[in-house]
Structure 1
């Protein structure tokens, strides 16, 4: 039978053009054979006449395409086994079968997420339906002819059939080749991730008629501009006649770090650490290191990742003084390029302007930009994800410099795992990473007597511990960085005794406590007893948090007394300088970060940090509510190793001992989520175990084991901030009675519901997303005890997209969200 081999992949687009377009795009991101083959076969199932009818509005039966494409690939591979094995160096039947399965997964799941390989096709009703359909309609599926004559692949003709029963086909694909995988699990895992991300990015770009690569178009300008403006900025620093000793040391650190990275690059090192005291100018130093790597290695993009939104805003401000175009990707920052594209469309609703909106959104979602600022959640979850939407970013993690600041804010279970992961990832993708903090963890993989599937030393065989770029101990010993003394208050402190101690000292102070309830109780005790008592915690909307910090800074500059009572949210990245800091019992890194807010700019001979243990009226330690189970070890370390009095320049050896104790007492890849209703994100972060997280109430997942067993779906359940610790509630605080944000958002949603055109539906979704970012300054994100929500305020209207709108009757600009029982809320 002679067939007409003209088919469409999308309305008005030839299948042949789409396949070659996707193939070209895939190879731009990955040269792996499995990626190229998956691109060629991913849409061959669209030859199905039912699918062709569906493109033109006619539904005539089974019209799915992905699993028909899988069937085509497997039959092609089997009939051409000898040539495939020879071309790709496959030596055994197991290696060949694994090769088939990898490509089959990429094809079959390219509109879904990566599965666990062992169950990739087991029990798949969809694959059985596709197999039965292929067997019954083989004469109407000229896939082999299309491959030979249209795609012009040199191969033996093949048929779309498999034995006598379709379940034999499914059984073949379900035979997970563990023996072959275990030969190089890390390689195969990263190969599969890379190929999948390259395929789905290319597929979406080609289907959306998006042939632009913004990174390629702008990287050269970005590189030159950063180099020029950094030089100009440092020249201005040098010309400052009033240069301080602190700035002299900052310059020394920067120069030494640059020399360190030069030496490392000569040895083909890919990952480095920068350990420097708080206030040492790490942001400018990291940008200078990135600039030097670019000089040595060419036009590489920069991804600057930080743990908290408050710090990303500070880095964004610095970056925007150096560069014309910076993209900050998070839940709060509006995208100016998308906003401008939306405005152009509002002025002229042309197809071209609509396409421009979709392109700008794709740029943001895929990190297709030369300078990205983002959060740890976006960055680290993308590295290990199995999700289609998240893995779209991964092609743009190639040829990048990762600047990872405040790395100690990662949960300790992840320190070594992600250091080793980045080391391998950077070697594979011509990328580099700088890990920076004032409290650097120990990153050597300890050898443990445990199940081989969980041994990180066996998985990361080529891992090299990152080299430190500066003589950090020398700088920690400098007098200029000996800015405070930590004094341990020997007696346990009640609210009353703490109030008395604070009032006895005639000066401004910062008090950092472990829970929101504690901060509110202390605030209520102090208000009226001293001037300028301010409260700060996550029960304040972001706009008010910024205002309170700015107010504190202004009062300090004016030499007016201010008492700021805060939770840990002020610990890292907030540039504020108090003469006195109080800190409730906490792990050592938190203590050092808190102390970094004391005499930060070295204006005093010595700042005072008071370290104490707050107890409730019944004598129970408040810290124990937060740091539970293994987290107690961190508290015990501080109780044992922090003497009655210790200076800042004596802490380096103490923190080294702390991270050594963590290193020796953890199992890389293992983490158990505590199920207590009072557990919060801070206690999770301070858990000793590394890399394992809880998938449900009874199961835990080990990252190292996931890689060893090709468990992509299990690995993809990882969340940096675990959702099992409580239910998240979002509140928008109305500005006043005239606030119409609810009505505007509801109007946009109603427009979306009525929209049937794909492109315009996408445009409205983007517009809604951007509108919510506009509201983010007044949105609270709170986690509450899932078993007791009775104390939460009721919204005045039905919630929209999970956001509850409440009036100012439930909120105070000085006290935050007003609740009946705040013990059931997390930090």
Structure 2
């Protein structure tokens, strides 16, 4: 070629420089405690891992030495015939290259190929035989000084005697050399390598460690150099922070919580009988399942479990990860605990966390917990306490790129998985796969859990806590006390009960299964209580983010106090980790686990002798199945027959009997079984029922904010059901409104949200 080979366009970086940057990043990331924890996490040999990782890092972008990619680096709008990582993998399958590499000792070419091929998560089963254009021949620059220099580095690293082989100057789809490479790649990728790693656990572990390691090293090399950072210096200051100590977690997290409890109870905090449950969590093993009722202080127990992990020292951890099923619960977890830590160590990470963190900064003097958005997920590597959605970390199991970049943090952490009952079946299957395949301290937490899931977790070695509640008198007494008066009724009666309770000065929470019925019920109550000056709160997922946050705050504040009456209608958004304490709860029939969670939003703090709960039949079974609702009816019959009152213990016992029936997980996930292949797929087992949209009236503001990289554009985003007609952005708008559609103003108001049923 007539010009220097480039790997990056902004800033321009030669191909050789980027490959050596990536190898430097690999060495700088994987050393000391991070290397020890990474290889323990993957169960891989550290010496063999580093050797193969460095080779793969040096080779991963060699396929960029082709004219199409080089023209792209110089601004041309060209579609590649072959993705560069595919071409790199094919080069590794050239007979001359394989023979050369096999002269080295202790080299696993297939592990290197899989890491090179998968480092952008865009390699499906057809990659070896696929061309993305009609072009069937490309000029290659594989014998240039840059590429030969890289091959010589690999030669010295592997202590290979022969010089690097002469490589082809062209790629031709029909040339016998490349046909043979494709055949070899196809055979190994589709069958041979997959079967090999299935039979050989240690080889699979090595393969996974190297594949993920290249992603981390490539991302670090690209991002840090682009932003002008020294690779080694930045990693020393951010990733390689000191090991967490007991003193750290006491100072950064627990002392602030103890002070808060002292203010609540009006006396110095101590681990008396009331907090024996939390104190004893420190003595749990490094893998445990904590199951206790709503409002029983599980999160404090979890941090004390982390303290125990640190104190025992069997894992030398540098981080604590609290992973939640939803953005809202992750944000609440940050506010309740993580925010107490220094801003350099505390983090929140989910789809709109940058916006949420901005909202916490009421003045310029407030702590700024945000990370540099230009560094992508790398910006989180410096955090030691992190509250996040579970997808952001465990989705590496489904070949999610960002999640894979975060693996150096995950391997260095004690991990708490909260609300595990709320994971859909695919998510829970992959949690099982995670627990089986990787070695990291994990605490799973829940108030309720079907027997199948509990058994699966216990069979994986998670210690059930508390197993003997009689030793924890305060907890046992709380769970056995009469807490709920549960009755069934019809919707008309439920409406009347809500009105009467509100007029009687009570806090009334009404939970329904769909957004449409939530809005209609809120409107019905609003009309009925208009003369009472009622502010009927309507809270669900179909608001613009700015209004959803407002509704969330209003609902929490309304039920936090007990002096004033309040009334709110919500969907399932109220079920998890929200400290709502209603006097009267009304709910549509829902699956057993959902009912138990909803019941837990009433009489939460034990200020009442009992709360009144009314359950009625929904108009339709959706979004659930009739089978799930039939089991819920049986559950409800048993609970209501235990009149006059029901306890949390009774609910847990009946959930074991009538809870959802599920098949057992097989312990597999795409990341574990993919072999050569690496192609991202959804982490959650749900249909994409909504589009992210902006309203017509917000299009201009959204574009202005996106163009200005202002995180407040997130507050304009609105989830709209797929069955509602929305518009695609026009050509000028699409540049900014990527993945967003435009929704009509006429169906939206900030009180009730997006009302799809309106004409």
Short-chain TM bin: 0.7 to 0.9
- Per the alignment, do residues 68 and 256 of structure 1 end up closer, same or farther by CA in structure 2, a change over 3 Å counting? same
Residue 334 of structure 1 aligns to a residue whose secondary structure is helix
CA drift at 1:371: 2.1
- Per the alignment, do residues 363 and 483 of structure 1 end up closer, same or farther by CA in structure 2, a change over 3 Å counting? farther
CA drift at 1:605: 1.6
Are residue 196 (structure 1) and residue 196 (structure 2) matched? Answer: no
**Using the alignment, how far apart are the partners of 2:630 and 2:463 within structure 1?**
28
Residue 703 of structure 2 aligns to a residue whose secondary structure is helix
**Using the alignment, how far apart are the partners of 1:64 and 1:471 within structure 2?**
54
Corresponding residue number in structure 2 for 1:779: 717
**Using the alignment, how far apart are the partners of 2:252 and 2:149 within structure 1?**
58
**Using the alignment, how far apart are the partners of 2:145 and 2:613 within structure 1?**
76
Per-residue displacement from partner, 1:27-51 (whole Å, max 9, x unpaired)?
4346425423211222445666997
Q: Which of residues 531, 536, 540 in structure 2 aligns to 1:537?
A: 540
Residue 445 of structure 2 aligns to a residue whose secondary structure is strand
1:107-146 superposed matches below 5 A? 107-110=116-119, 112-116=120-124, 118-124=125-131, 133=139
Partners of 2:413 and 2:441 within 8 A in 1: yes
1:271-290 superposed matches below 5 A? 271-290=287-306
Q: Which runs of 5+ in 1 are unaligned?
A: 89-98, 345-355, 447-456, 617-621, 670-690, 692-702, 735-740, 752-763, 823-827
1:583-602 superposed matches below 5 A? 583-602=587-606
Are residue 316 (structure 1) and residue 323 (structure 2) matched? Answer: no
- Per the alignment, do residues 793 and 244 of structure 1 end up closer, same or farther by CA in structure 2, a change over 3 Å counting? farther
Per-residue displacement from partner, 1:75-105 (whole Å, max 9, x unpaired)?
4653246544x525xxxxxxxxxx4344224
Are residue 385 (structure 1) and residue 398 (structure 2) matched? Answer: yes
CA drift at 1:310: 2.0
Partners of 1:105 and 1:120 within 8 A in 2: no
- Per the alignment, do residues 55 and 180 of structure 1 end up closer, same or farther by CA in structure 2, a change over 3 Å counting? closer
CA drift at 1:168: 1.8
CA drift at 1:337: 9.7
Are residue 100 (structure 1) and residue 37 (structure 2) matched? Answer: no
**Using the alignment, how far apart are the partners of 1:287 and 1:249 within structure 2?**
18
- Per the alignment, do residues 247 and 576 of structure 1 end up closer, same or farther by CA in structure 2, a change over 3 Å counting? farther
Residue 354 of structure 2 aligns to a residue whose secondary structure is coil
Partners of 1:416 and 1:445 within 8 A in 2: no
Corresponding residue number in structure 1 for 2:635: 638
Residue range with higher mean Cα deviation, 64-73 or 531-540: 64-73
Are residue 498 (structure 1) and residue 483 (structure 2) matched? Answer: no
**Using the alignment, how far apart are the partners of 1:71 and 1:535 within structure 2?**
57
- Per the alignment, do residues 243 and 576 of structure 1 end up closer, same or farther by CA in structure 2, a change over 3 Å counting? farther
- Per the alignment, do residues 205 and 324 of structure 1 end up closer, same or farther by CA in structure 2, a change over 3 Å counting? closer
Partners of 1:275 and 1:468 within 8 A in 2: yes
TM-score, normalised relative to structure 2:
0.77
Per-residue displacement from partner, 1:304-339 (whole Å, max 9, x unpaired)?
111222222221112212433322112223279999
Q: Which of residues 86, 99, 110 in structure 2 aligns to 1:79?
A: 99
Residue 578 of structure 1 aligns to a residue whose secondary structure is coil
**Using the alignment, how far apart are the partners of 1:138 and 1:563 within structure 2?**
71
Q: Which runs of 5+ in 2 are unaligned?
A: 31-37, 39-45, 365-370
Partners of 1:307 and 1:409 within 8 A in 2: yes
Partners of 2:114 and 2:675 within 8 A in 1: no
Give the count of matched residue pairs: 689
Corresponding residue number in structure 2 for 1:464: 460
Corresponding residue number in structure 1 for 2:421: 408
Q: Which of residues 250, 255, 262 in structure 2 aligns to 1:232?
A: 255
Are residue 508 (structure 1) and residue 507 (structure 2) matched? Answer: yes
**Using the alignment, how far apart are the partners of 1:816 and 1:57 within structure 2?**
44
**Using the alignment, how far apart are the partners of 2:610 and 2:77 within structure 1?**
78
Q: Which of residues 660, 665, 668 in structure 2 aligns to 1:668?
A: 665
TM-score, normalised relative to structure 1:
0.71
- Per the alignment, do residues 789 and 248 of structure 1 end up closer, same or farther by CA in structure 2, a change over 3 Å counting? farther
Corresponding residue number in structure 2 for 1:436: 445
**Using the alignment, how far apart are the partners of 1:229 and 1:57 within structure 2?**
48
Residue 279 of structure 2 aligns to a residue whose secondary structure is helix
- Per the alignment, do residues 402 and 558 of structure 1 end up closer, same or farther by CA in structure 2, a change over 3 Å counting? closer
- Per the alignment, do residues 122 and 62 of structure 1 end up closer, same or farther by CA in structure 2, a change over 3 Å counting? closer
Per-residue displacement from partner, 1:747-771 (whole Å, max 9, x unpaired)?
466x6xxxxxxxxxxxx6xx25x24
Q: Let me know the Cα RMSD of the aligned residues.
A: 4.7
- Per the alignment, do residues 360 and 144 of structure 1 end up closer, same or farther by CA in structure 2, a change over 3 Å counting? closer
**Using the alignment, how far apart are the partners of 2:66 and 2:623 within structure 1?**
58
Per-residue displacement from partner, 1:325-356 (whole Å, max 9, x unpaired)?
3221122232799999xxx9xxxxxxxxxxx9
Residue 527 of structure 1 aligns to a residue whose secondary structure is helix
**Using the alignment, how far apart are the partners of 1:127 and 1:80 within structure 2?**
32
Corresponding residue number in structure 1 for 2:682: 718
CA drift at 1:292: 3.0
